[in-house]
Amino acid sequence: MLAPMAGYTDAPFRKLALEHGAGWVVSEMVLARGFLAGERRSLELGAPYPGEERLVLQLFGHEPDVLRDAAAKAEAEFGPVALDLNMGCPAPKMAGRGGACLLQTPELAFALVRAMRQGTSLPVSAKIRLGWDHDQSLEIAHGLEAAGASLITVHGRTSRQRYGGEADWEAIARVAQAVRVPVIGSGDVTTPEQYFERLKLGVAGVMIGRGAVGNPWIFAQIRQGGSAAGPALEERVHTALRHARLNAQWYGEASGVRQLRKVLPRYFPTHPELHPALKQVSTLGELERLLSSLRPLTPAC
């Protein structure tokens, strides 16, 4: 499944991930209070594309009544298959507002899950890290299970680690063995081979984040047993252009292409000579001309 990533898992990228075989996709984190107030940015972050399936909407916040009402509104307006509480974002700007800060106040986190369950008939999950600055994952997972979480995703780092070091999959495995609800593992899975190795640890599934950026084929490769070859250059060009066109449809051309500048180089890891230009493109025409040097363009999709 596609992990929630701020600035990446928007509607166009989720569409690509599903087309390539992701089982579920998770939205960028949506501020519950802003969502309730109808703030444009919060609404945009959670909005599904028309007909989107298997969307899990992720909320963040720290007020039980707000999370309860936001859960109800999300179910009514966006129709996701489940709701998730963000307990893993380590960004300093989240201080006191939710995210990984909830690992310091687990009783509040449990109250938030209970409140979300009161507001919705959908399954409610939580995505956590191992702890704030040391491993508290077993204690927190047991509390979330008791609060009614239907599923727990564990990223194998503490909040203090942010994205440094290596994810501790042995700690994730201990959580999976200790609770009755399904546990999804997350952290440092960038190849099908790593996916299948992590699955042997007893988790119910694996969440892939950074490994899918510029690489939506990873989901198809996993569904094919990990034996499929990587995409040919022509397929890379085709998919990068499709991503750009989806972005242009969703945001408007100028904004959509600009937002994709950070992703486009990831589609072409073996062509670093294109990366500076990819980070500067402003229109679909510019991108098409730039990539035409790699292979003849196929018709627009």
Which two tokens mark 98?
């939710």
Task: Say whether both 37 and 75 belong to one domain.
Answer: yes
Whether residue 60 lies inside any domain: the answer is yes
Task: Say whether both 165 and 63 belong to one domain.
Answer: yes
Has 301 been annotated as catalytic? no
Question: What region does 7 belong to: left with phi over 0, alpha with psi -120 to 50, or beta?
Answer: left
d(CA 107, CA 205): 26
232-269 burial, b at 16+ Cβ within 10 Å, e below that, comes to: eeeebbbbbbbbbbbbbebbebeebbbbbeebbbebbe
Decide which of 170, 193, 223 is a domain's last residue.
223
Whether residue 1 lies inside any domain: the answer is no
Whether residue 4 lies inside any domain: the answer is no
Whether residue 5 lies inside any domain: the answer is no
Whether residue 299 lies inside any domain: the answer is no
> Does the pLDDT at position 297 exceed 60?
no
Active-site annotation holder among 16, 45, 82, 89: 89
Task: Say whether both 47 and 88 belong to one domain.
Answer: yes
Task: Say whether both 81 and 204 belong to one domain.
Answer: yes
Q: What pLDDT, in 10s, does the model give residues 253-274?
A: 999 999 999 999 999 999 999 9
Lowest mean pLDDT among 16-20, 132-136, 182-186, 297-301: 297-301
d(CA 72, CA 122): 9
Find residue 127's DSSP bridge partners.
86, 153
**How many folded domains does the chain comprise?**
2
Task: Say whether both 193 and 261 belong to one domain.
Answer: no
Task: Say whether both 238 and 200 belong to one domain.
Answer: no
Whether residue 129 lies inside any domain: the answer is yes
Task: Say whether both 111 and 150 belong to one domain.
Answer: yes
Task: Say whether both 155 and 251 belong to one domain.
Answer: no
d(CA 42, CA 67): 14
Task: Say whether both 53 and 154 belong to one domain.
Answer: yes
Per the CB < 8 A criterion, the answer to whether 146 and 110 are in contact is yes
Task: Say whether both 219 and 238 belong to one domain.
Answer: no
Whether residue 298 lies inside any domain: the answer is no
pLDDT for 228 equals 67
Q: What pLDDT, in 10s, does the model give residues 97-129?
A: 899 999 999 999 999 999 999 999 999 999 999
Task: Say whether both 55 and 192 belong to one domain.
Answer: yes
Task: Say whether both 204 and 251 belong to one domain.
Answer: no
Decide which of 223, 256, 282 is a domain's last residue.
223
d(CA 58, CA 17): 17
Find the CATH number of the domain harbouring 33.
Answer: 3.20.20.70
What's the whole-number mean pLDDT along residues 215-224?
A: 95
Which domain does 26 fall in, by range? 11-223
Whether residue 2 lies inside any domain: the answer is no
Among 201, 161, 153, 208, which Cα is nearest to 181's?
A: 153
Lowest mean pLDDT among 3-7, 34-38, 178-182, 227-231: 227-231
Share of the chain above pLDDT 70, in %: 97
SS3 labels along 186-216 = ECCCCCHHHHHHHHCCCCCEEEECHHHCCCC
